[in-house]
Amino acid sequence: MGKVHGSLARAGKVRGQTPKVAKQDKKKKPRGRAHKRMQYNRRFVTAGFEGLEEEAAKAPF
């Protein structure tokens, strides 16, 4: 049997100490095609063109 770090009597100590916070209602996230569209817009449309300058500088002419 493997060694245990600390006694098992202390298991779950931190979780037991933390105060219970009720879950909040959130808007549902888009699924499927709509989620892919959201990712595309976030990554390529609104993010701008950071990184393209470096790629252009590396290209041998």
Q: What is the pLDDT of residue 39?
A: 95
DSSP 43: I
Identity at 11, one-letter amino acid code: A
Dist CA 39 CA 46 (whole Å): 10
Q: Is the pTM of this model over 0.75?
A: no
pLDDT in tens, the chain (61 residues): 567 777 888 889 999 999 999 999 999 999 999 999 999 999 999 987 666 666 666 767 6
